[in-house]
Structure 1
Amino acid sequence: MKDLMGLMGKAKEMQAKFEAMQQEVASIEATGQAGGGMVSVTLSGKMEMKALKIDPSLFKEDEVEILEDLILAAHNDAKAKVEAVLQEKTREMTAGLPIPPGMKLPF
């Protein structure tokens, strides 16, 4: 019975840590770039786009597809950076817990 109570206590502690981490994650921002910095996208920890910057030299009628590709590449770069930060924070928080590999935590 003591083990069950200890487990329940750890679960409450973990829940509080997850809530704190979710608040921290909301404040994270990462900027991805493409085209040598000609296009940059900033995403929040919740993957919401916060900023988009495009070098004016890319606004040419015959280069629309290039601009579209650069925006997508910058977005994907920013997304990868946010996901890396989230993985690191999750790893720090769950250190020592027997969580199966590949288990996605609720974010």
Structure 2
Amino acid sequence: MKPDLKALFKQIEKVQEELERIQAELENKTVTEEAGGGMVKVTINGKKEVVKIEIDKEVVNPDDIEMLEDLLVAAVNKALQSADKMISEEIAKATSGLITGIPGFPFNFPGFKA
């Protein structure tokens, strides 16, 4: 039995439109993570751009810059992981039902986990 290519292309087009909509929405969604018990907070949007960094004054010590650097790295990495999770969840939620029947799906979408 031959696959219905017209229906398949229509379904692929719907998925593409939905993914474009999700991408636009993710620009406005953010995640915030912290390190050092909240001394450093990093906010990242759905495009994986750092949009805000908050540093508690108590952690700013000119004699211990390494600690501040470590806290920043930890907070950014946690926020990136949370952003990946948010992106995957949004894609899965929005495309559920649209992607069934498309051979080889999921394609190599960044952050998508089937």
- Structure 1 stretches lacking a partner, 5+ long: none
* Pairs within 5 Å for 1:1-107: 3-96=4-97, 97=100, 99=105, 103-105=107-109
Q: Percent identity?
A: 34
Which range moved further: 34-43 or 89-98?
Answer: 89-98
Distance 2:95 2:108 in 1: 12
AA partner of residue 37 (structure 1)? G
Change (3 A) 1:69 1:2: closer
Shift of 1:105: 1.2
User: TM-score if structure 1 supplies the norm length?
Assistant: 0.87
Distance 1:70 1:19 in 2: 34
Shift of 1:2: 7.7
User: TM-score if structure 2 supplies the norm length?
Assistant: 0.82
Q: Which structure shows the higher helix fraction?
A: 1
Contact 2:43 2:79 in 1 (8 A): yes
